[in-house]
């Protein structure tokens, strides 16, 4: 589940693609922090050349806005992982209501999910709850566990004041700031042997 800034009750809007202007029902849960529209707009402009047909992982999915936006814009599939059962159920309901094919939801802690059998993803959304500071742990599991394709893309959202420690072969491509949030897009390079 994303972040620790505010409660995320109400609705948020998908801003592009086949599901443009669709609304996601968002449960009122402590710490739920949907990625703002302007951040999603910037991110998906960056990703436009690589999104078509991509296999994606929305780790710590929260509302699922990032993964649903990816499906809307041509991603082949998105695996959503969300630890909060109520948020996971809301995400399933939104996917069903929108008839968003290609989305699958798993209600599980991100760390536990990454201990499972790896599938390589083209794009991973890494936006864990800020208060838990899971970036280094999850990034290490993603890198060492075979969860990323050879030149996979990783989106990381973190507090503006804190650039998380990530694997050295994750090369920063683009970054921006919105309020107290830093958002950055990395590309994986093969680690040096």
- Tell me, what's the pLDDT at 193? 53
pLDDT surpassing 70 at residue 14 = yes
Q: State the average pLDDT over residues 112-130.
A: 94
| β-bridge pairing 77-82 and 103-107 | parallel
Q: What is the mean pLDDT of residues 149-175?
A: 94
pLDDT of residue 33: 73
Residue 3: the pLDDT is 39
Q: State residue 191's pLDDT score.
A: 64
- Specify the pTM: 0.90
Distances (CA, A) of 42 to 16, 50, 78, 177: 11, 14, 20, 11
Q: What is the pLDDT of residues 108-120, one digit of tens each?
A: 999 999 999 999 9
Residue 4 pLDDT grade (very low, low, confident, very high; cuts 50, 70, 90)? very low
The answer, yes or no, to whether residue 94 has pLDDT greater than 60, is: yes
User: Domain locations in the chain?
Assistant: 10-188
What CATH homologous superfamily does 10-188 map to? Vaccinia Virus protein VP39 (3.40.50.150)
What percent of the chain has pLDDT above 70?
92
């Amino acid at each position: 589940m994303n972040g620790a800034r505010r409660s995320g009750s109400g609705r948020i809007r998908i801003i592009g693609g086949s599901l443009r202007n669709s609304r996601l029902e968002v449960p009122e849960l402590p710490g739920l922090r949907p990625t703002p529209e302007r951040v999603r707009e910037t991110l998906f402009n960056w990703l436009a050349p690589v999104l078509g047909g991509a296999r994606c992982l929305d780790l710590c999915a929260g509302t699922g806005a990032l993964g649903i936006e990816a499906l809307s814009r041509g991603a082949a599939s998105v695996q959503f992982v969300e630890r909060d059962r109520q948020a996971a159920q809301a995400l399933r309901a939104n996917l069903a209501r929108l008839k968003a094919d290609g989305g699958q939801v798993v209600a599980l802690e991100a760390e536990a999910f990454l201990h499972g059998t790896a599938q390589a993803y083209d794009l991973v959304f890494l936006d864990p709850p800020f208060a838990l500071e899971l970036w280094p742990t999850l990034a290490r599991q993603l890198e060492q566990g075979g969860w990323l394709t050879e030149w996979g893309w990783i989106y990381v959202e973190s507090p503006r004041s804190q650039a998380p420690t990530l694997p050295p072969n994750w090369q920063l491509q683009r970054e921006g700031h919105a309020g107290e949030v830093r958002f950055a897009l990395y590309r994986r390079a093969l680690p040096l042997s």
